[in-house]
Amino acid sequence: MENHRCNGDGKESFKPPPEIKFTKLFVNGQFVDSVSGKTFETVNPATSEVIAKVAEGVEADIDLAVKAAREAFDHGRWPRMSGFERGRIMSKFADLIEQNIDELAALDSVDAGKLLASGKTVDIPHCLHILRYYAGAADKIHGETLKLAGEYQGYTLLEPIGVVGHIIPWNYPSTMFLMKSSPALAAGCTMVVKPAEQTPLSALFYAHLAKQAGIPDGVINVVNGFGATAGAALCSHMDVDAISFTGSTETGRLVMEAAAKSNLKTVSLELGGKSPLIIFDDADVDMAGEICVAGSRVYVQEGIYDEFVRKAAESAKSWVVGDPFDPNVQQGPQVDKTQFERVLSYIELGKTEGATLLTGGRRCGDKGYYIEPTIFTDVKEEMRIAQEEIFGPVMSLMKFKTIEEAIEKANATRYGLAAGIVTKDLNTANRVTRSVRAGTIWINCYFAFDPGCPFGGYKMSGFGRDLGMHAINKYLQVKSVVTPLHSSPWL
Amino acid sequence: MAARRLACSLLSRSGAACAPSLSRSVFGGDRIHGSASGVLRGFSTATAVEEPIQPPVQVNHTQLLINGQFVDSASGRTFPTLDPRTGELIAHVAEGDVEDVNRAVVAARKAFDEGPWPKMTGYQRSCILYRFADLIEKHNDEIAALETWDNGKPYEQAAKAEIPTVARLMRYYAGWADKIHGLIVPADSPHHVQVLHEPIGVAGQIIPWNFPLLMFAWKVGPALACGNTIVLKTAEQTPLSALLVSKLFHEAGLPDGVLNVISGFGPTAGAALASHMDVDKLAFTGSTDTGKIVLELAARSNLKPVTLELGGKSPIIIMDDADIDQAVEVAHFALFFNQGQCCCAGSRTFVHERVYDEFVEKAKVRALKRVVGDPFRKGVEQGPQIDEEQFSKILHYIKSGVDSGATLVTGGDRIGSKGYYIQPTIFSDVEDKMKIAKEEIFGPVQTILKFKDVNEVIQRANATRYGLAAGVFTHNLNTANTFMRALRAGTVWINCYDVFDAAIPFGGYKMSGNGREKGIDSLKNYLQVKAVVTPLKNPAWL
């Protein structure tokens, strides 16, 4: 604890929070109060203080937003523009985001506890890149002409699916907003976005910039609110054609159920994970140490296990936890009280289950939701800390002997979002790559996200892919067109 | 190297609107005023005799562009580039020859082998291409004026359709730069197989004079998106605009040596590029005869792959159920657009016998209304031909048409006594064996042929060494489908013509060339394919 430079001690923030300009709902191109007039508080996780009161959307607000999106889709310009025109407007949107990087990064920092420095230099530039990627993709959505068995001319048209609902989480408010909305915009869809109730602020700013860029009214609507009310209304709405959800596996199940019970809307889910990171004896231990901060289940081969444990503990102890506005800080607070308490309870659980607490394990300071980087060793597969998603700075270290054992253990989970491999051996890398059931495999790297690289889960981590050209498919319908050919010289 | 080519741009998305509304370009009709063919005088009272309008632009760049620098030619020689309105001098331009091509290839080689261009991420390259597009847009009118001055094409066509299309093409290719994906392919045995698409290296590109900057964009866009470096030889008739925009490209952040521009002639600079041992790929647009030479030089040197966009004698087929007024307008445009200097010009107009007489009469009326004159004048549809050589050649073909017994419906002569203006000319009663029905005229000469039934016209339409494009006018879906499949041509336009989008591939069957430009297919011209294979040891599945 004394090794952490913790700043959750009630001191002044490193920098004053940004001015909050938008707190209403964004429906049909206008910022409006909720139908009920109700609001909810959004809190700065670094100080537990209220930042702003935000309009609270419920079913009635979702209805209005869907109606606007429906109108914009059925009769508006957006789906009737050429892909190129949509791409031009999206490029303009990206330029506006670029001009407002500082303010957007500050909003995520104050609202979600994101590190300000990396928001400015990594997260928001990454968002821009995603938006520009899909701006360039908007005129590259190709159907196919088909060689058919009979004397027919056949082809496919890829058409926008219609009104899309996006429900996004609080962990990467900006990235998630653009990761969901950009491919849907490129496809020609209109949408209703429900941001997480913990982090509503940057989404409203993006909606404002989208309008400035020339995205027609009704194409992007943002309704803040809670999952049980606004989220549920969106998922069961009869006029929403597709829903794209990122969040927990439990909530994903509800989303899918609501879709099944309403209009069978297309669902894509990007859910939880318990992603394994497998470190082999031949690994560069220092590199493995840097990468391992990301893995929630870290499997280390027995030959380097002891050395790795020592270095991991050192590394965790030197990790700087504190005010996300401080550029030297590596870890900010957890997003809210619920998450904070949930993480601490998992740490307690780990101890009771018999795992060894190597380092960390407590909150940092007495204000805000800071937690020490925590490492457990002697973790067994059947322990809940090895099976369930903790979503906090808690790593479980486990030892393995053979490659077969590592593969088996890595796959012994209901999740399959991602996996990491650290090895210098090409055959090991290739074999584990093919053998682990996960949507993304990072070899000697981790969190190497790229706009062109699809991301999504196997098994109960969900289905469908975000990012890359794959993501556009979620927002397209396929129409097959067939007509007879008479006396064609070739087929 | 009398390079030429078409390209056209734009024009009527639907085919319903045409020449007078050069307007309905890819960029939407609302940007362009469909000026007025009816308001101005037709060619019979041509304006060519008037004093030429002073172009609103200065010529600032006449040197070669090598390794990011404007330099004189190694020999110090220059050649004149002329105003087609008068045949008078616009500027003396540095004349590139073998030594200049060598220097440009060295620069391109270094820029490729040492970077930074091919080592940048696709995203970084795309940002530069987008910035270039923005600069083109910013300097649109200046660039268009230079294009018109050097080429003779109507200024409104350049400013409202062609130069905006250059920006649009650059944005299209910018979007591809970070989406060049290879496949992971299945193997029969336990092997992991990756297919990498890598830039091919130094690309030599030889472009024609008929659409100088559109051809620049068709060539340079995909090559740069894929990470190649370039030595570009412009046509000797139209060297100016490429130098100006290449300077803008460097302002946009293009590294030195990535794009080198050599002005010069085919037999010297062009041949040096085609036979260079350090050029990895060659792309040529021009005549079929020159294309043969280019391919031969590649074969004799380092076997560089060659893509060719060559001549055409493209048929337009008008069925008796077609909307005749629309067909007349579109067929008129398909031939006369850009002074008839389009490689895909609809230069064999096949009309069903039941509507033949009506079609010919209406085509004549339309041709007589065509506004010919100083291309800088508002409302002008047709400027002068590019140069003396083309001018004489076209007049020679017109004489050949008369001599072979075709009926001269209208036109047939030059306009005025200065510059290279030719009357919009129509021949009817043209037969397949006549020279004017077989050879590419590349001028404002429409030849109208008669046919009886579908099978006959398919056979006649395909009876050519060319296969660049074709047009079909019919309301019958089955007839349209039959033609679509039966015509041996790289593009078939049905109830429209000259619709050129960034994503629509363009290129020829038969002796109209090989390879495709625009669209995703164009990227293949500039990519090497590398298969990477490595064994898999006991993977869980294959």
Tell me if chain B has a CB within 8 Å of the CB of A363.
no
Q: Say how far apart CA B249 and CA B255 lie, in whole Å.
A: 9
- Of chain B, the percentage scoring pLDDT greater than 70 comes to 91
Q: Which residue has the tokens 């050599």?
A: B262
Nearest CA in chain A to B485: A488
Q: Mean pLDDT throughout A435-459?
A: 92
CA angle B371, B376, B382 (to 5 degrees): 30
- In the predicted structure, residue B36 carries a pLDDT above the cut 50: no
CA separation for the pair A140, B438 (Å, rounded): 38
Q: Is the model's pLDDT at B34 over the cut of 90?
A: no
Q: Which CATH code for domain B314-503?
A: 3.40.309.10
In DSSP terms, A371 is beta-bridged to A363
CB B295 within 8 A of CB B308: yes
Question: Given this model, what pLDDT does residue A174 score?
Answer: 97
Per CB-CB distance under 8 Å, the chain B contacts of A430 are 192, 534-537, 539
Q: Which residues of A are catalytically annotated? A: 270
Please check whether residue A358 is in contact with residue A367, taking contact to mean a CB–CB distance below 8 angstroms: no
Q: Read off the DSSP letter of residue A317.
A: H
Q: Tell me what pLDDT residue A16 has.
A: 62
Determine, for residues A434 and B171 on separate chains, whether the beta-carbon distance falls below 8 Å. Answer: no
Q: What residues contact residue B84 under an 8 Å CB cut-off, 6+ apart?
A: B151, B152, B383, B384, B385, B386, B387, B419, B420
Q: Which residues share a beta bridge with B281?
A: B203
Q: So what's the pLDDT on residue A148? A: 85
* Nearest Cα to Cα of residue B443 among B394, B491, B384: B394
**B537 has a chain A CB within 8 A of its CB:** yes
Structural tokens at position B266 = 């085919």
Nearest-angstrom CA–CA distance, A375 and A296: 10
Question: What is the chain A residue with the closest CA to B190?
Answer: A431
- Per-residue pLDDT, averaged over B40-46, amounts to 45
B171 lies within 8 A of chain A by CB: yes
Is B309 one of the annotated active-site residues of the chain?
yes
pLDDT at A318: 86
The pLDDT of residue B185 = 87
Q: What is the pLDDT of residue A489?
A: 78
Each residue of A140-155: pLDDT tens digit? 999 999 888 888 889 9
Residues of B in contact with A137 (CB under 8 A): 175, 179
Token readout for A268 is 């894509």
Q: Going from the N-terminus, what domains does chain A have, and what CATH number goes with each?
A: 25-272+461-478 (3.40.605.10), 276-443 (3.40.309.10)
Contact between B414 and B423 under an 8 Å Cβ cutoff? The reply is yes
Catalytic site residue from B147, B309, B329, B381:
B309
Pairwise CA distance, residues B184 & B542, whole Å: 12
Q: B222-235: string of b/e by CB count within 10 Å (b at 16+)?
A: bbbbbbbbbbbbbb
Q: Token pair for residue B29?
A: 């009709």
Mean predicted confidence (pLDDT) in B210-227? 98
Whether the CB of B175 is below 8 Å from some CB of chain A: the reply is yes
Mean pLDDT score across all residues of chain B: 91
Residue, of A6 and A194, whose pLDDT is higher? A194
Q: How far apart are CA A250 and CA B143, in angstroms?
A: 60
Q: Is B504 on the interface with A (CB under 8 A)?
A: no
The pLDDT of residue B174 is 97
Type of residue at B475: H
What is the maximal distance between C-alpha atoms in chain A?
85
Predicted pLDDT of residue B210: 97
Interface of B with A in 95-114 (CB under 8 A): none
Overall size of chain B counted in residues: 542
Q: How deeply is A490 buried, as exposed, middle or buried, from its count of CB atoms within 10 A (0-12, 13-18, 19+)? A: exposed
pLDDT score for B148: 98
Question: CA B436, CA B406: separation in Å to the nearest integer?
Answer: 9
Angle of CA points B402, B404, B407, to nearest 5°: 45
Assess B466–A contact: CB distance below 8 Å, yes or no. no
Helix (H, G, I), strand (E, B) or coil at B259: strand
- Look at residue A301 and give its three-state secondary structure: strand
What is the distance in angstroms between the Cα of A314 and the nearest Cα belonging to chain B? 35
Residue B17's pLDDT band (cuts 50, 70, 90): very low
For the stretch A325-351, pLDDT in tens is 888 888 888 888 888 999 999 999 999
Q: Is B518 on the interface with A (CB under 8 A)?
A: no
Among the partner residues A84, A129, A434, nearest to B168 by beta-carbon distance: A84
Instruction: Give this complex's ipTM.
Output: 0.82
Q: Is A61 exposed, middle or buried (0-12, 13-18, 19+ CB in 10 A)?
A: buried
Q: What is the pLDDT of residue B189?
A: 85
Secondary structure of residue B521 in the 3-state scheme: helix
Q: What is the pLDDT of residue A6?
A: 57
Instruction: Return residue ranges of chain B for CATH 3.40.309.10.
Output: 314-503
SS3 of A244, please? strand
d(CA A223, CA B424): 62
Count H helices and E strands in chain B, helices first. 16, 20
Burial of A216 by CB count in 10 Å (0-12 exposed, 13-18 middle, 19+ buried)?
Answer: middle
More confident residue, A153 or B62: B62
Residues in chain A: 491
Question: Out of A182-196, A389-403, B304-318, B391-405, which region has the weakest mean confidence (pLDDT)?
Answer: A389-403
Q: With an 8 Å Cβ cutoff, are B481 and A483 in contact?
A: yes
- Using an 8 Å Cβ cutoff, are B337 and B498 in contact? yes
DSSP state of B307: E
- List chain B residues with CB under 8 Å of A93: none
**How many whole angstroms separate alpha carbon A54 and alpha carbon A31?**
12
Written as six digits, the tokens of A132 are 């520009």
Note whether A431 contacts B538, CB cutoff 8 Å.
yes
Q: Which tokens in the block code for residue B489?
A: 């041509």
pLDDT band at B541 (very low <50, low <70, confident <90, very high): confident
Q: DSSP label at B14? A: S
B173: which chain A residues are within 8 Å (Cβ-Cβ)? Answer: none
Provide the pLDDT for residue A293. 60
How confident is the prediction for chain A on average, in pLDDT?
92
pLDDT number for residue A336: 86
Q: Which of A90-104, A363-377, B154-168, B266-280 has the lowest mean pLDDT?
A: A363-377
User: What pLDDT was estimated at residue A319?
Assistant: 84
Fold for the domain defined by B64-310+517-528: Aldehyde Dehydrogenase; Chain A, domain 1 (3.40.605)
Q: In chain B, which residues have their Cβ closer than 8 Å to the Cβ of A151?
A: none
Direct distance between the N- and C-terminal alpha carbons of chain B, in angstroms, rounded to an integer? 54
pLDDT in tens, B90-145: 999 999 999 999 999 999 999 999 989 999 999 999 999 999 999 999 999 999 99
Which residue in A139, A430, A490 is closest to B485 by CB distance? A490
Q: Alpha carbon of A484 to those of A151, A480, B455, B477, B492: distances in Å?
A: 6, 14, 18, 9, 18
Out of B122, B168, B179, closest to residue A140 by CB = B179
Task: Please report, for residues B9, B39, B444, B542, the alpha-carbon distance to residue B512 in angstroms, rounded to integers and kept in the order given.
Answer: 19, 38, 20, 44
Phi–psi pair at B410, nearest 5 degrees: -160, 160
Domain ranges in chain B with CATH number 3.40.605.10: 64-310+517-528
For residues A309-346, one letter each, b for 16 or more C-beta atoms within 10 angstroms of the residue's C-beta and e for the rest, the string is bebbbebbbebebbbbbbeebebbbbbbeebbeebbeb
Highest mean pLDDT among A99-113, A280-294, A322-336: A99-113
Give pLDDT tens digits for B453-507: 999 999 999 999 999 999 999 999 999 999 999 999 999 999 999 999 999 999 9
How are the residues of chain B apportioned to helix, strand and coil, as percentages rounded to the nearest 5? 40, 20, 40
Check CB contact under 8 Å for A136 and B179: yes
Band (pLDDT 50/70/90 cuts) for residue B1 is very low
First to last CA, chain A: 74
- Report DSSP letters for B468-496, one per residue: SEEEEE-S-HHHHHHHHHH--SSEEEES-
